Structure 1
Amino acid sequence: MPVQRSLFGRPVPRLAPKRIAALLGAIALFGVFTLVFTLPSSIPTGPSLGKFTDHRISLPKLPKQLPSPSILNPFRQAAHAPPVQQNSTSGEASWYSNWNWLSPFSSSVTLDENRSLLPPLPVRPPIYTYYDHTLAKDKDLKFAENALLLTWRKAWWAQGFKPVILSPAEAMLNPLYVELQRLELEAALKIELSRFLAWENMGGGLLCNYLLLPMGSHEDSLLSYLRRGEYPMLSRFEKLGNGLFAGAKADIATAIKLALENPELKASKDLVGAVPPLTFGVDPDHEALAFYNAETLNEKYPNVAGDIAATGANGLMILNQLMNAHLHSTWQNEFSTGIAVLKPVPQHMSASVEPALHLAEFLAQCPESPMPASCPPNKPRCKPCVASTPMKITTPPMYRNTSTLYTIGTVPHPYTFASLDGYRDDINVSWIRRVSERDPWLSGMTKELLGTGVSGAPRVIKFKEAVASQYGLGHSLWVTAEMPLPTDLDWYFGFVIPRNATDTGKSETPVPGPERRPQIEPDPHNGPVPSEGDILKEKILLEKAKQFGLSKSPEHNRLRGAVEAWNLADTEAWRFARAFLARASVERLKWEEEEKQYAGGAGSEKGKSQGWGRWFDD
């Protein structure tokens, strides 16, 4: 019998020869690596032994002091989540605004899986207009002027400004208002001076006539300059008259005092003519500004000018229609390549992108206009929209960063995508783990930008840049597949989006049918054309996925958690898009609620429905 060894009176377990060999081999391998990687650096003098080794592996070098020493420690102490910011929730969406918004995963900063990390809200510089709502006017005239003010607000809001309507209430707060009332001046000149008194009382910035609209790209140099909110001198724009002024409070106050002290003030038509020429700097660059004053209307749109002179309120409504049409056609001219409705992994995604496709069809239509072939006053060489050849609509599977292409993306929740892509409603953990791929939606969407051999983290960063960067804001719209389209998209684009098909001049039925909608360009990556049965099943699966997302049962919560854990990048993209769109609506609604109490509520929608309920009626 073999001898039983003992240590301190206890038997020592025997090891098989193979196990002893494996143990000795592991010890030897550990010793070799220790000599190769530690011995050369331990010799203080003499030649380095590292050059005699035959390895080409460069070890990663960690910084001596990590920015957060505990971030790599799985047993780190609990930390407080960042404080909840004001107006940072809407329904199920919640967010935290921070400069570190390009972190791949929000939970690393928010310490909350359901709280998205968004970029700080950009500061909207105020742009003021003046409207005296106290004057006695016909009801129809006030309604028409309100429509013009609403168009003005939407156009400037979409360009990143905060449009504010001033009234005599702000002018009365200026100490110089009493001095103005003592002067015997014509009513028009008094109103003009009251504009400047109200503007100076607000601290300066931009003063705009509500018949002047921004008509240019989001990246236009002039609009970018105005968005910065810093105006070194009191300035106006050449050939725009009293259309737009920019300046600081002190410079405005100086100009007003010079005008009031001018003994020839009564002979002046406006403040600009009542002050020395050098009081205002004159900027010749205003290609992105369209001014529909009386002079411009008489010169370029005599029919509209005649309607205003003849009918008053009705003519102003026609002018409002013309301005909205020009805003829409300017947008179409900026995106000459067309509209891309993203459809990654297109096998069974037709139902999920249907609302986005409808929106693209309406955006591509020609707007109703009293002068269809006309161009904006600042763009005499535009390309008018022709109903027979509308904008191109494509459904590519990948996001393309093209400046002349507008992108509408529909981001599905990972469960929704799994249900539609798998073409089944009995999704379970086993199927997710063994059959489904990880982050398929984001991988397909960014395949052209990043290729195939990239992990989810850099793909999330690219997605966030496409959604929330300054460039992305003007070139794309991202919605979620489970929520209906927002009801305030007119404010997002800056014009009233057509709700009905435009007549092509052919004799057709009055009800707009599919044959009158813009044709979708064929794309080889779109996949097979789904049948009516396939579309019906996709809609059923999509509706079940929506109900699944609303469910609070423990079983559904566990399954939802498993799907989100398996698709971390897709989940982050879905939450980011949902929170970003929700925050935009919260910001606008809060501002609109505040502005309703000023200027008699001028410029509001007056209860007029701007919803999307009729958009999808066939």
Structure 2
Amino acid sequence: MPTQHILFGKPFTLYTLPRRFQFLLFFLLLTTTLIFFFADSAADVPAVAAVTEHLPDSLAHPKIPSLPAAINPFAPSAHKPPPIQANSSTGDATWFSDWRWRNPFSSSVTLDENRAVLPPLKRRPYIYTFYEPTPASKKSKAVKAAEERVIFQWRRAWWAQGFKPVVLGRAEAINNPLYKKVQMLKLEDAIEVELARWLAWGNMGSGILSNWLVFPMAGRDNDLLKFLRKGNYPQLTRYKDLKNGIFCGEKKAINEAIGTAISKPEDLKKTSSLADEVFNELFQVDTVSDGIAFYDTDRIRQDYKSIASNLFSAEPVKAAKGYRELGQLINAHLQTTWQSVFHKGVAVVKPLPKHMTVLVEESLQIAGNLTECPINPLPTACPPNQPNCKKCISSQPLLITTPPTFRNKTGLFNIGSVPHPFTTTALTHERDVLDPKFVRRLGIDGRDSWIKALTQDLLGQGVGASARTVRFKEAVAGEYGEWHSLWLTAEKSYHEDLDWIFGFDIPLNSTTSRGKSETPVPGPERRPLPSKMEGPVLTESELSLDRGRLKKVRETVGSRSRHQILIRDAVEAWNLGDTEAWRFARAFGARRKMERRKWEEAEKGFAGAEGQGRGWGRWIDKVVRRGD
């Protein structure tokens, strides 16, 4: 009787292959084993060697395929590259935002030779303003355009200081649940508009509420601006000297303050602002406000009388002129404030100076524009928060120097043009064409020559490229270095976004324009020349030769030709430090531009936006949705 097999309490039947198939499988297994164990030793047998030497190599030495590493259990383990982040590339520049950005070489983090590791983007606190067309702007397009131009300046100045400015309108106020209660009070125009902007702010959430004539007028290290930049406002706060110019607080406290105010309609009808002393119980009142300038009506009438006569005129033409003059005044005050912060002048860094003059020509133009006196309708007038400011005198411009190394000094602003190592090698060795053999013949001393020269004063001799790239990255993107220097890539013929980096209009010329030639403002005769040129001075013929060579180099660095790519890769592999510095500076500038453009895209339909919004702006009410 056959045996009944049981598995897990249930009967089952074993099935076996026929005996002839068992013999066949055994034979195949034995043959395969013998081939693996004796294939290498077969070549030592004379008879086998005599046969195999007449066979094709593919038959005499067959290649046994190996398992892919992904499914081979015996393959060594390997790290995978980090996932590609959203919005981490533009053009040829690619980056990865990570706290390990100080690592000397990005490829050790990204496992990608072309992707630079940048510090994570800093969180920008929201700062809101409220805008409704004034009676004059409703009647005149010129007045409305002039108002929105000032709002554009407000947005740019606060963006440059590390904030995210947003312009609100009546639509946001209507979305606040308290709006109907306010309307039932039937308040006068001034206090009604004041409550409308508070309702719009309360609808958006925590942050800062600012009048669009309030500007940050101090350096980045100002205590008030540093506090506001943190984005944490535990108490609803106003500032005594700024009246109703600026407030900060959390959403719950904002709406509670609105509720308290509308519960006292008699007090509301006697005031025009929640900054009135009647409502002091709603706020913590701070007396420190030296970093912010408020161009309110009283200040304009008192200190800027010639502007006030136009600005408050009933004639639209004069009112529009008044706003334009006010915008020029504010822009001039922003630039002279910047000049007072960097009172030691501008250093245009020029390592390897013999043939690097052509690389710093644009940097010298930018330095000249930053240090000149701006157009100012009232040259002797000071910002509201700086009654004893230092006036800009065209005959005594800030010092411009061209040191061969980077010098980290308080009160000194550095501008640098970071060249690709191909550019450095071609210019310093006066060659139009490079090849891998020439690059290798340069030897160890010829490697990373640019970053060695740049950091000579900081680190001295005998320090490797790793330490030098770390110091360079801190100068470009560190908490201090980012706002005390500007690093451009030498291969670009022009650079955008300079006004947004500094927060004010920089006069344009043929070099610093956005790709088109414009008349310098003011004229070249007023633009200061470098005060102290260090290093050799080239003749015009030598400069012309270097300019032609730089043009060819720019074409090579951006070329898609396979031959040029191989040469470029060889130069990069031989100059790892210079290559890392160039990629880091390029990626940092590209990300900064992308961040602003994405924000502008989201804000393009609202008042004061760049492009259409700057000139003619919103006025189709839209609701802003807050998003990080």
TM-score (norm 2): 0.81
Q: Find 1:393's aligned residue among 400, 403, 408.
A: 400
In 2, Cα distance between equivalents of 1:236 and 1:406: 33
Give secondary structure in 1 for the equivalent of 2:391: coil
**Is residue 2:595 matched to residue 1:592?**
no
**Mapped partners of 1:512, 1:291: distance in 2:** 27
Q: How far has the Cα of 1:434 moved from its partner?
A: 1.7
Residue from 605, 612, 620 that aligns with 1:606: 612
How far is the alpha carbon of 1:602 from its aligned partner? 3.4
CA contact (8 A) 2:149 2:614 kept: no
Tell me whether 1:281 sits opposite 2:284 in the alignment. Answer: yes
Deviations 1:475-512 (A, max 9, x none): 111010001332221111000012369xxxxxxx9997
Q: Which moved more, 1:382-391 or 1:583-592?
A: 382-391
Q: How far apart are 1:303 and its partner, in Å?
A: 1.8
Of the three residues 262, 269, 272, the one matched with 2:272 is 269
How far, CA to CA, are the matches of 2:87 and 2:414 in structure 1? 28
Q: Secondary structure at the match of 1:359?
A: helix
**Structure 1 counterpart of 2:425:** 418
Q: Equivalent residue for 2:33?
A: none
Is 1:517 aligned to residue 539 of structure 2? no
1:160 aligns with: 162
Is the aligned partner of 1:488 residue 2:491?
A: no
| Structure 1 spans left out of the alignment, 5+ residues | 1-74, 502-508, 610-618
Aligned to 2:333: 326
Q: Give the counterpart of 1:439 among 448, 458, 471.
A: 448
* Paired residue secondary structure (2:165): strand
* Equivalent of residue 183 in structure 1, options 160, 182, 185: 185
Q: Give the aligned residue type for 1:168.
A: R
Q: Deviations over 1:303-342 (max 9, x none)?
A: 2222212321211111111000000000011111101111
**For 1:578, which of 577, 586, 595 is the aligned residue?**
586
CA deviations over 1:402-440 (Å, ceiling 9, x no partner): 120111110000000100111111222222122261101
CA distance in 2, matches of 1:401, 1:462: 11
> Cα–Cα, structure 1 residues 76 and 410, in superposed 2: closer, same or farther, change >3 Å?
farther
Indicate yes or no: 2:247 matched with 1:245: yes
Q: Which residue in the other structure is 1:308 paired with?
A: 311
Q: Is the 8 A contact 1:341 1:396 kept in 2?
A: yes
**Which residue of the partner structure matches residue 214 of structure 1?**
216
- CA deviations on 1:140-199 (whole Å, 9 max, x unpaired) are 111111011011011100000000000111101100111111121111211100000010
How do residues 90-239 of structure 1 correspond to structure 2 at under 5 angstroms?
90-133=90-133, 136-239=138-241
Partner of 2:561: 553
Change (3 A) 1:512 1:463: same
Q: Residue type matched to 2:478 in 1?
A: S
- Mean CA deviation greater in 513-522 or 567-576: 513-522
DSSP 3-state at the match of 1:587: helix
Deviations 1:332-381 (A, max 9, x none): 11111101111001000111111111111111111000011222111122
**Structure 1 position 514, deviation (Å):** 5.6
The match for 2:551 among 543, 546, 556 is 543
AA aligned to 1:295 is D
Is the CA contact 1:262–1:274 (under 8 Å) kept in the aligned structure 2? no
Task: Read off the aligned partner of 1:280 and give its amino acid letter.
Answer: F
The structure having more radius of gyration, on CA atoms, is 2
> How far apart, CA to CA, are the structure 2 residues paired with 1:512 and 1:321?
13
Q: Give unpaired runs (5+ residues) of structure 2.
A: 1-74, 511-518, 616-628
Secondary structure at 2:127 match in 1: strand
Q: Any idea what SS the aligned residue of 2:241 has?
A: coil
Native 8 Å contact 2:236 2:253 kept in 1: yes
Deviations 1:571-596 (A, max 9, x none): 00000000000000000000001011
Deviations 1:389-413 (A, max 9, x none): 2111111111111120111110000
Corresponding residue number in structure 2 for 1:293: 296
TM norm structure 1: 0.82
Decide whether aligned partners of structure 1 residues 147 and 435 sit closer, same or farther in structure 2, where only a CA change above 3 A counts.
same
Kindly state the Cα deviation for residue 133 of structure 1 after the two structures are TM-superposed. 4.6
Partners in 2 of 1:306 and 1:134 — Cα distance? 17
Which whole-Å CA distance do the structure 1 matches of 2:609 and 2:94 have between them?
30
Distance 1:133 1:306 in 2: 20
Q: CA deviation at 1:119?
A: 0.2
Deviation at 1:77, TM superposition (A): 3.7
Task: Name the SS of the counterpart of 2:293 in structure 1.
Answer: strand
Work out whether residues 88 and 96 of structure 1, in 8 Å CA contact, stay in contact via their aligned partners in 2. yes
Q: 1:137 to 1:98 in 2, by over 3 A?
A: farther
- Quote the Cα distance in structure 2 between the aligned partners of 1:169 and 1:285: 33
- Secondary structure in 2 matching 1:95: strand
Q: What secondary structure sits across from 1:316 in the alignment?
A: helix
Name the aligned partner's letter for residue 266 of structure 1: K
Is the CA contact (8 Å cut-off) linking 2:404 and 2:535 kept in structure 1? no
CA-based RMSD: 2.0
CA distance in structure 2 between the aligned counterparts of 1:216 and 1:399, rounded to whole angstroms: 25
Counterparts in 2 of 1:291 and 1:149: CA distance versus 1, 3 Å: same
Q: Distance in 2 between matches of 1:318 and 1:134?
A: 18
In the TM superposition, residue 274 of structure 1 has moved relative to its aligned partner by 8.1
Tell me the CA shift for residue 546 of structure 1: 0.7
1:476 aligns with 2:517: no
8 Å contact kept, 1:259–1:275: no
Which moved further from structure 2: 99-108 or 130-139?
130-139
